[in-house]
Each structure stands twice: as structure tokens, then as C-alpha cells.
Structure 1
Amino acid sequence: MPFDHDTMVAFSKSFGLFYLVALSIAVLVYAFWPSNRKRFENAARNPVSNEEDRPWN
């Protein structure tokens, strides 16, 4: 099988598509995983934590 330009372009487009689909699925699984619910709800309620909301000395 020769590795000419057209073959490499087709491979890279196919690999890129599958890579982005797999990455998107991984992000969705992480975002909707039940054990992450508390962390995300806390982040939604408290955009600035109490430790960060102090004046500089």
C-alpha cells in the first residue's frame, strides 16, 4: 500500500473524525457522571470561593 498524499489525507481526516467523536463522548461522560454532580453544583452556586474573595494585604 503506497503512502501517497491522497492516502495520508484520507487517513488523517478519518482519524481526526474518530478522535473528535471519542473526545466528545469522553467529555459528556465526565460531565454527566453522577459522582461529579456535587462538584458542578457547587461551582454553579459559588463562582468565586470565599478564599479568593479577599482584598490583598
Structure 2
Amino acid sequence: MDYTTLRHFADSWGLLAMTVFFIGAVLFALRPGGKQAAERAAQIPLKED
């Protein structure tokens, strides 16, 4: 594979894969019940064992 082939792949399918990943991450963060899970995770370092 040469540079041109890799660049073409990154410009097309690589960009599509990053876009799909970004949309999935946003949807995961904004899902119902996500706020409660994030609040619980944020309190972990503050817990006294």
C-alpha cells in the first residue's frame, strides 16, 4: 500500500468510522439513566472506605 491509497481510505471510510463513533458516544452519554450513572461514578473518589 502506498501513501495515496492510505490517504484515500482515511478520507472516506476512516472519516465515516470516526463520525459513527462520535455519534454513538454522544447518544451513549445522553441516554436515559445516564445522568444517575455519571453521578455515581463522580462520587467514587470521594467515598470513604
TM range (shorter): 0.5 to 0.7
Q: Report 1 or 2 for greater relative contact order, CA contacts < 8 Å, sequence distance ≥ 6.
A: 2
Q: If you compute each CA radius of gyration, which structure gives the higher value, 1 or 2?
A: 1
Taking structure 1 as the reference length, the TM-score comes to 0.60
Tell me which stretches of 4 or more aligned residues in structure 1 moved more than 2 Å. none
TM-score between the two structures when normalised by the length of structure 2:
0.67
RMSD: 2.4
The percentage of counterpart residues that share the same residue type is 23
Aligned length: 48
More helix by share: 2
